[in-house]
C-alpha cells in the first residue's frame, strides 16, 4: 500500500469545481512531479493533501485521500498529525519572523519532540541519515559539554541536510529574513524536515529562485528521496524531466494522464499531454 | 484649451492655499500652546500637588492630574488590550467566517465614531448600576469603552496584513490556530500592535468628556480604585474656567504638559515599531 | 497533542465570546441609555421633547429644541467652513503632491487627529474668540466672541483630519487607468480629476463628509469652551448657542438632585449615539463597498 492514495477527489471553490474526480496512487520514495498549465489545479491538489484548503471556508471537498490507509478528511483524522507527516514547501519561501535558529527549532518545540532535549536519541536518529562531511561522534561529544547541546546539534543537522549549514553557521541568531531568497528556501526545507515528515509537498519551490539556488534545491531533493516521498508541483517542464521519477499531468482540474516519467515524456497517450509537452498549450 | 489651463492654475493655487491653511492651523495651535504654557511652566507644576490656595494662585502643581491621567489611561489600556487582542485575532478567517468579521468591523467602526460624552454617560449608567461613585474605577470603565474600538480596529488592520502564505507555512508544520497566532502572527504584527496600543493610549489620555462625570476630580493622588481621581484634560478645563489670570496661566501650562505627553506617546509609538521590526518578514 | 487541541478550542471559544461582546456593545450602550431615559419618555412624548423650546428642569420642562438647533447649526457651519478647504487639500495631496509631501502630510494629519479636545478649546479661547468678537463688532453685532461662529471654526479645524484623510484614501483608490484614459485625451490634470476621478469617487467623498459631520456633531469639550452655552435659538452666527453634548457635560453636577434631570440628559446622550452611530453606519458601509470588502 502506498503512502498516498487519492480516490475520486473533487474540490470546489464555492460552486466552481477546481479538481474533478482525481484518482491516483503516489509511489513511495520517488519524486512525483505534478505538471500542467497554470490554473489547472496543481496547487489545489497539493494543498488538499495536507488540508491547507481547510483555511479557506469557501473551499469544499469530497472523495477520499488516504494517507497510510486513513482518510484524512474522516472524522477520526487529526489534522495536526497529518500536517506533521506531510512537510510543505511554498512557492515563495516565507521565513517565520524569528531567528534562523528558531526557524528550525519552532516545529520540534511545538510538537515537544524528545530529540530536541536528548542528545542520545538525536544521535540515534541522525545515524539513519547520510550527511556529507559531518563527524557525528565528534559533534555528539561537543554537544554533551553544552547546555543546549541537543537543540544546537538538531539545528546543525537539519541545516546540513538542507545544504545551508556552511553559509549560516556563524549567524544562527540573525533574523531569517536577512537571508537571500535562495537561502530562505533551503531554510524552509530544513524547517520542514525538522518536524520529521515522511512526505514532502513542494509547490513550485524553485520558481522564485535564481538558477544557482534552484539547482541546489533540486540536488537536495535527489538526495532526500531515499528517506522521503516527494511531490513537487512545477510548471517548468525541463525541471520535471530532470528530477521526476513519476509524473501527473493535469489539465483544467482533471488528471489527464499519469505514470513513470519515461512513459509520460516519451510516449504520452493523451493528445492533451502531447500538446502540452510539445508546447502547443501552456 | 487655454481656459482649461487657466482653470487648473486657479484651482491648484486654491488647493495649495487650503493645504497651507490646514498646516498653519496645526502650527499655530502648537506654537500658541507652547508659548502660553511656557510662561507658567515650572518644575513645581509637574512634581507638586496643589497646595492650599492653589486655585487662588498660590503654590503647587498638577502632579495629581499627571499621575491621575497615567493611572486612568494605564488601567484602561490594560483592560482594552485584554479585550482588543483576542477580538483582533478572532477576526482572522481561521476563527470566524468572513461575513461575521465584516459585521464586527462595522460595529467597531460605529463604536470608534461614538462621541466620548456618550461613553461618559453610559459609564455613569454602569456606575449607578454597580453602586459606585465618581472614581478611578468609573473613569477606567468609561475610558476602556472609548479606547477598545480604537485599539481593536487598528490592531485588526495590522493583523490582516500578515500574509496568508506565512500562516500556511506555520500551519503546514502541524501547529494549532493558537500556536500560529501567538508564535507567528503576533510576532509578525508586533510593531503594529504596539503602535495601535500607543495610538489608543494617546487618544485616551487626551479625552475629557468620557471621564468628566465618571472619574471626578481631586487634589490628591487616589490610594484605591473607588476614590476620585484628577486628570490632565480636566485640570486644563477647570483651571481655564476660573476668573483668575494666574490660574488660567496654569491651565495653559497644564495643556502644554498634556500636549507634550501626547506628542511623546506618538514618538514612542514610532520608535517602538522600529525597535520590534527586526524579525519581520517584508 | 490532545492538550494542544483542547487549548486551541478553549481559546477559540473565548475569543469568539470577545467578538460577540464587541458586537453587542453598541446595543448595550443604547439599551443602557434607553433604560435611564425611560422615565422622561414616560412623562412626555418624544415629539414634544424634541420640538419644545422650554428648558426649565426645576419646573420639569425639558425642551431639547434649542440644543438640537445649536448642535445642527454649529455642525453645519463647521462643514461649510471645512469641506471646501479639506477637499481641495485632499485632492492636492492625492493627485498633485510629490510623495515626500504626501508622507509628511500624513504625519501632520495624524498629529492633528491626536491633539486632545481641550487643547483645541484653549486655542479657541486664545485665538478664535477674540478674532470673532472683533469681526462681530466691526459688523455692528454686539457679542462676547463666545458664539456659534467660534464653535463652528473650532469644529472645522477638528474635523479637517477626518475629512482629509478619508478623502485622500478614497481618491487614491481610483484606478490609475481611469486617470490615464482621461489624460490620454489631452485634457489637463484638473479636468481629468473633475470629470473622471471625482465622479468615480463621489460616494467615498460623501462618506468622508458624513464622517466629518458625525465627528463635529458629537464633539463636546472644545465646543463648549467657546460657544457660549446659552439655551436660546441663535439668530445669527454672532449669537451664542448650546449644543447637546455641552448640555450633558455642563449639568452632570446637578442632575442627581432634580427629578427627571438625569433621565433627560441620558436621553440627550441616546440621541447623540443614534444620530452619530447612524451616520457612521451609512458612511462605513459605503466605504466598505468602495474597498470591495462586502
DSSP string for C210-227: HHHHHHHHH--HHHHHHS
Extract the C-alpha cell encoding C256.
Answer: 442627581
Angle at CA B244, nearest 5°, toward B241 and B249? 80
Q: Which CATH architecture has domain A1-95+200-282?
A: 3-Layer(aba) Sandwich (3.40)
- Joined together, the cell numbers standing for residue B121 give 454617560
Nearest Cβ partner for B175 among A82, A91, A110: A110
Residues recorded for chain A: 282
Of the pLDDT bands very low, low, confident and very high (cuts 50, 70, 90), residue A213 is: confident
Share of chain C above pLDDT 90, in %: 73
Among A142-151, B46-55, C109-118, C171-180, whose mean pLDDT is lowest? Answer: B46-55
- Alpha-carbon gap, residue B113 to C213, rounded angstroms: 11
Q: Residue C139 has what DSSP assignment?
A: T
Burial B49-65 (b: 16+ CB within 10 A, else e): bbeeebbeeeebbbbbb
One domain, residues B136 and B150:
yes
**Pairing label, strands A70-71, A16-26:** unpaired
Size of interface A-B (CB pairs under 8 A): 84
Given this model, what pLDDT does residue B280 score? Answer: 65
Interface test with A, best of B174, B178, B187 (most A CBs within 10 A): B174
**B53 DSSP 8-state letter:** T
The mean pLDDT value for A167-179 works out to 93
The CA-to-CA distance between both ends of chain A, in Å, stands at: 34
Strand ranges, E, within chain C? 55-56, 61-62
Q: What is the 3-state secondary structure (H, E, C) of chain A?
A: CCCEEEEEEEEEECCEEEEEEEEEEECCCCEEEEECCCCCCHHHHHHHHCCHHHHCCCEEEEEEEEECCEECCCCCCCHHHHHHHEEEECCCCCCCCCEHHHHHHHHHHHCCCHHHCCHHHHHHHHHCCCCCCCCHHHHHHHHHHCCCHHHHHHHHHHHHHCCCHHHHCCCCCCEHHHCCHHHHHHHHHHHHHCCCCCEEEEECCCCCCCHHHHHHHHHHHHHHCCCCEEEEECCCHHHHHHHCCEEEEEECCEEEEEEEHHHHHHCCCCHHHHHHHCCCCC
Q: A81 at the C interface (CB within 8 A)?
A: yes
Residues B123 and B14 in one domain: no
The span from the CA of C118 to the CA of B235, in Å, is 10
Which of C47, C51, C78 shows the shortest CA–CA distance to C215? C78
Q: C251-263: per-residue pLDDT in tens?
A: 877 777 788 898 9
- Among A115-124, B2-11, C68-77, the range with the most confident prediction by mean pLDDT is C68-77
Q: Average pLDDT for residues A12-39, to the nearest whole number?
A: 92
Please report the pLDDT score of residue C76 as a whole number.
97
> Is C1 in Cβ contact with A78 (below 8 Å)?
yes
Other CB atoms within a 10 A radius of the CB of residue C30 amount to 18
Task: Decide if A87 and B172 are in contact by the 8 Å CB cutoff.
Answer: yes
In Å, how far is C4's CA from the nearest CA of chain A?
9
Strand partners, A257: A249
CA distance B215 to B134: 5
Contacts of A110 in chain C (CB under 8 A): 4
Q: A2 or C235: whose pLDDT is higher?
A: C235
Please indicate if any CB of chain C lies within 8 Å of the CB of B125: yes
Top pLDDT among C288 and B70 is at B70
Average pLDDT value for chain C:
92
Domain ranges in chain A are: 1-95+200-282, 96-178
**Separation of alpha carbons A13 and A60, rounded Å:** 7
Residue B7's domain spans which residues? Answer: 2-40
DSSP conformational letter for C257: T
B139 to chain C, any CB pair closer than 8 A? The answer is no
- Does B271 lie at the interface with A, CB-CB under 8 angstroms? no
Say if residue A252's pLDDT is above 50: yes
Q: Which of these, C283, C259, C287, lies nearest to C43 by C-alpha position? A: C259
Whether the Cβ atoms of residue B146 and residue B119 lie closer than 8 Å to each other:
yes
Residues in A closer than 8 angstroms to C4, CB to CB, are 80, 110
B188 min Cα distance to partner chain A (Å): 6
What's the rounded Cα separation, in Å, for the pair C290 and C195?
19
- How confident is the model over B62-66, as a mean pLDDT? 94
Q: Cβ contacts (< 8 Å) between B164 and chain A: which residues?
A: 55
Cα separation, A3 vs A87, in Å, equals 14
**Cell reading at C67:** 440644543
Q: Any CB–CB contact under 8 A between B174 and chain A?
A: yes
For CA atoms C111, C114, C115, C120, the dihedral sign is positive
Which positions ≥6 away from A162 have C-beta within 8 Å? A186, A187, A189, A190, A193, A220
CB atoms within 10 A of CB A241: 15
> Does the beta-carbon distance from B281 to A97 stay under 8 Å?
yes
Choose among A95, A97, A107: nearest Cβ to B173: A107
C-alpha cell at B6: 487657466
What pLDDT digit, counting tens, does each position of A108-132 carry?
999 988 888 888 888 888 888 877 7
pLDDT in tens, C78-99: 999 999 999 999 999 999 999 9
CB contact under 8 A, A96 and B184: yes
Total domains in the fold of chain B = 2
- B279 pLDDT exceeds 70? no
Interface of A with B in 67-86 (CB under 8 A): 80-84, 86
Per-residue model confidence as pLDDT tens digits over C2-47:
889 999 999 999 999 999 999 999 999 999 999 999 999 998 889 9
- Best residue in C33, C88, C107, C110 for a mutation probing chain B (most B CBs within 10 Å): C88
Q: Which of residues 183-242 of B touch C (CB under 8 A)?
A: 199, 202-203, 205-209, 212-213, 233, 236-237, 240
Are B233 and B105 in the same domain? Answer: yes
Question: Residue C214 in contact with residue C283, Cβ under 8 Å?
Answer: yes
Residues in B touching A110 (Cβ below 8 Å): 173-175, 179, 183
Is the predicted pLDDT of residue A256 greater than 60, yes or no? yes
CB atoms within 10 A of CB B184: 24
Mean pLDDT taken over chain A: 91
Spell out the alpha helix ranges (H) of chain B: 2-40, 43-47, 63-90, 98-113, 116-130, 136-160, 164-172, 177-180, 186-206, 232-240, 245-275
Could you tell me the pLDDT band of residue C294, with boundaries at 50, 70 and 90?
very low
Instruction: Report, as an integer, the average pLDDT of C74-81.
Output: 97
Of A275, A195, A249, the C-alpha closest to A34 is A249
- Please tell me whether residues B25 and B165 are part of one structural domain: no
Contact between C126 and B32 using a beta-carbon 8 Å cutoff: yes
A87 to chain B, any CB pair closer than 8 A? The answer is yes
Backbone angles phi, psi at C3, to 5 degrees: -65, -40
Q: How many CA atoms lie within 13 A of A21 on its CB side?
A: 2
Residue B214: predicted pLDDT: 92
Closest approach of chain C CAs to the CA of A112, in angstroms?
9
> What are chain B's partners, defined as 3 or more CB pairs within 8 angstroms?
A, C
Residues 6+ apart with CB under 8 A from C285: B106, C294
Handedness of CA C155, C160, C161, C167 (dihedral sign): positive
Q: What is the grid cell recorded at A146?
A: 553544552
For B4, the closest of C4, C114, C188 (CB atoms) is C188
Q: Check if the beta carbon of residue B208 is closer than 8 Å to that of residue C224.
A: no
Nearest CA in chain B to C108: B23
Domain spans in chain C, listed from the N-terminal domain onward: 49-290
Q: Average per-residue pLDDT in chain B?
A: 91
Beta strand pairing call for A31-35 and A246-251 = parallel
* Cα radius of gyration (chain B): 23
Q: In B, which residues are within 8 Å of C91 by CB distance?
A: 15
Nearest residue to C42 via CA among C246, C269, C259 = C259
Beta strand A59-67 with A70-71 is antiparallel
The grid coordinates of residue A141 equal 561529544
Is C22:B100 a contact under the CB 8 Å cutoff? no
Residues of C in contact with A83 (CB under 8 A): none
- Cβ contact B184–A97 (<8 Å): yes
Average pLDDT on B162-180 reads: 94
Are residues B88 and B17 part of one domain? no
In angstroms, the CA C282 to CA A96 distance is 40
Residue C9: alpha-carbon gap to chain centroid: 41
CATH number of the domain residue B158 falls in: 1.10.3720.10
Of C156, A8, C22, the C-alpha closest to B18 is C156
* Same domain (yes/no): B176, B275: yes
Residue B185: list chain A partners with CB under 8 A.
none
Superfamily designation of domain C49-290: MetI-like (1.10.3720.10)
* Residue C242 in grid coordinates: 448650546
Answer yes or no: are the C-beta atoms of A190 and A102 closer than 8 Å.
Answer: no
- The answer, for B60 touching chain C at a CB cutoff of 8 Å, is no
pLDDT single digits (tens) C202-241: 999 999 999 999 999 999 999 999 999 999 999 999 999 9
Give the gap in angstroms from C-alpha B260 to the nearest C-alpha of chain C.
10
**A62: CB partners within 8 A, 6+ apart:** A8, A9, A10
Amino acid at each position: 500500500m502506498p503512502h498516498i492514495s487519492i480516490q475520486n477527489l473533487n474540490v470546489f471553490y464555492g460552486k466552481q469545481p477546481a479538481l474533478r474526480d482525481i484518482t491516483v496512487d503516489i509511489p513511495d520514495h520517488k519524486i512525483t512531479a505534478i505538471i500542467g498549465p497554470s490554473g489547472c489545479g496543481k496547487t489545489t491538489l497539493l494543498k488538499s493533501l495536507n488540508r491547507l484548503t481547510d483555511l479557506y471556508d469557501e473551499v469544499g471537498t469530497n472523495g477520499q485521500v488516504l494517507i497510510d490507509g486513513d482518510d484524512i478528511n474522516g472524522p477520526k483524522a487529526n489534522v495536526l498529525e497529518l500536517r506533521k507527516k506531510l512537510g510543505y514547501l511554498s512557492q515563495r519561501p516565507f521565513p517565520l519572523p524569528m531567528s534562523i535558529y528558531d526557524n528550525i527549532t519552532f516545529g520540534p518545540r511545538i510538537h515537544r519532540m524528545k530529540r530536541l532535549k536528548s542528545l542520545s536519541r538525536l544521535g540515534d536518529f541522525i545515524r539513519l541519515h547520510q550527511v556529507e562531511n559531518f563527524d557525528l561522534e565528534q559533534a555528539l561529544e561537543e554537544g554533551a559539554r553544552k547546555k543546549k547541546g541537543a537543540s544546537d546539534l538538531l539545528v546543525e543537522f537539519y541545516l546540513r541536510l538542507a545544504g545551508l549549514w556552511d553559509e549560516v553557521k556563524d549567524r544562527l541568531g540573525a533574523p531569517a529574513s536577512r537571508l537571500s531568497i535562495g537561502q530562505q528556501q533551503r531554510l524552509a526545507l530544513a524547517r520542514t524536515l525538522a518536524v520529521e515528515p515522511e512526505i514532502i509537498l513542494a509547490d513550485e519551490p524553485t520558481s522564485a529562485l535564481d538558477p544557482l539556488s534552484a539547482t541546489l534545491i533540486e540536488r537536495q531533493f535527489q538526495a532526500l528521496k531515499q528517506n522521503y516521498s516527494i511531490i513537487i508541483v512545477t510548471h517548468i517542464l525541463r525541471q520535471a524531466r530532470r528530477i521526476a521519477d513519476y509524473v501527473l499531468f493535469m489539465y483544467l482540474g482533471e488528471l489527464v494522464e499519469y505514470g513513470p516519467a519515461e512513459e509520460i515524456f516519451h510516449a504520452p497517450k493523451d493528445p492533451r499531454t502531447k500538446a502540452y509537452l510539445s508546447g502547443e498549450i501552456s | 484649451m487655454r481656459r482649461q489651463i487657466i482653470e487648473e492654475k486657479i484651482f491648484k493655487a486654491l488647493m495649495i492655499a487650503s493645504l497651507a491653511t490646514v498646516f498653519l492651523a496645526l502650527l499655530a495651535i502648537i506654537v500658541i500652546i507652547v508659548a502660553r504654557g511656557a510662561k507658567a511652566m515650572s518644575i513645581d507644576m509637574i512634581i507638586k500637588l496643589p497646595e492650599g490656595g492653589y486655585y487662588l494662585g498660590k503654590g503647587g502643581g498638577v502632579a495629581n492630574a499627571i499621575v491621575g491621567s497615567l493611572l486612568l489611561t494605564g488601567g484602561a489600556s490594560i483592560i482594552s488590550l485584554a479585550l482588543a487582542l483576542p477580538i483582533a485575532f478572532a477576526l482572522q478567517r481561521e476563527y470566524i467566517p468572513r461575513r461575521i468579521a465584516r459585521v464586527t468591523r462595522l460595529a467597531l467602526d460605529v463604536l470608534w465614531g461614538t462621541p466620548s460624552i456618550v461613553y461618559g454617560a453610559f459609564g455613569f449608567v454602569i456606575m449607578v448600576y454597580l453602586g459606585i461613585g465618581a472614581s478611578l474605577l468609573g473613569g477606567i470603565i468609561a475610558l476602556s469603552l472609548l479606547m477598545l474600538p480604537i485599539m481593536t480596529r487598528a490592531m485588526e488592520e495590522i493583523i490582516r496584513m500578515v500574509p496568508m502564505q506565512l500562516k500556511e507555512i506555520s500551519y503546514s508544520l502541524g501547529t494549532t490556530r493558537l500556536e500560529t497566532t501567538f508564535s507567528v502572527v503576533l510576532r509578525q504584527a508586533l510593531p503594529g500592535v504596539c503602535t495601535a496600543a500607543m495610538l489608543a493610549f494617546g487618544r485616551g489620555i487626551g479625552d475629557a468628556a468620557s471621564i468628566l462625570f465618571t472619574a471626578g476630580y481631586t487634589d490628591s493622588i487616589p490610594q484605591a480604585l473607588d476614590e476620585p481621581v484628577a486628570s490632565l484634560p480636566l485640570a486644563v478645563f477647570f483651571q481655564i474656567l476660573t476668573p483668575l489670570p494666574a490660574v488660567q496661566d496654569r491651565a495653559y501650562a497644564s495643556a502644554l504638559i498634556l500636549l507634550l505627553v501626547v506628542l511623546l506617546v506618538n514618538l514612542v509609538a514610532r520608535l517602538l515599531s522600529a525597535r520590534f521590526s527586526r524579525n519581520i518578514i517584508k | 497533542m490532545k492538550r494542544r487541541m483542547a487549548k486551541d478550542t478553549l481559546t477559540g471559544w473565548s475569543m469568539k465570546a470577545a467578538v460577540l461582546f464587541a458586537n453587542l456593545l453598541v446595543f448595550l450602550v443604547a439599551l443602557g441609555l434607553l433604560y435611564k431615559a425611560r422615565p422622561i419618555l414616560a412623562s412626555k412624548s418624544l415629539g414634544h421633547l424634541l420640538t419644545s423650546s422650554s428648558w426649565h428642569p426645576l419646573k420639569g420642562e425639558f425642551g431639547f429644541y434649542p440644543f438640537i438647533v445649536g448642535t445642527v447649526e454649529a455642525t453645519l457651519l463647521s462643514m461649510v467652513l471645512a469641506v471646501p478647504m479639506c477637499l481641495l487639500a485632499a485632492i492636492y495631496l492625492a493627485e498633485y503632491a510629490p510623495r515626500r509631501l504626501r508622507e509628511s502630510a500624513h504625519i501632520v494629519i495624524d498629529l492633528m487627529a491626536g491633539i486632545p479636545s481641550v487643547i483645541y478649546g484653549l486655542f479657541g479661547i486664545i485665538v478664535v474668540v477674540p478674532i470673532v468678537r472683533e469681526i462681530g463688532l466691526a459688523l455692528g453685532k454686539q457679542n462676547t466672541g463666545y458664539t456659534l461662529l467660534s464653535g463652528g471654526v473650532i469644529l472645522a479645524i477638528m474635523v479637517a483630519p477626518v475629512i482629509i484623510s478619508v478623502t485622500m484614501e478614497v481618491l487614491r483608490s481610483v484606478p490609475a487607468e481611469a486617470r490615464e484614459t482621461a489624460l490620454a485625451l489631452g485634457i489637463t490634470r484638473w479636468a481629468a480629476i473633475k470629470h473622471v476621478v471625482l465622479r468615480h469617487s463621489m460616494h467615498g467623498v460623501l462618506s468622508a463628509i458624513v464622517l466629518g459631520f458625525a465627528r463635529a456633531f458629537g464633539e463636546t469639550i472644545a465646543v463648549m469652551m467657546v460657544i457660549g452655552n446659552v439655551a436660546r435659538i441663535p439668530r445669527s452666527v454672532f449669537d451664542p448657542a448650546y449644543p447637546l453634548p455641552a448640555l450633558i457635560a455642563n449639568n452632570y453636577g446637578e442632575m442627581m438632585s432634580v427629578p427627571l434631570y438625569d433621565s433627560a440628559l441620558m436621553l440627550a446622550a441616546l440621541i447623540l449615539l443614534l444620530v452619530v452611530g447612524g451616520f457612521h453606519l451609512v458612511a462605513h458601509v459605503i466605504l466598505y463597498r468602495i474597498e470591495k470588502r462586502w
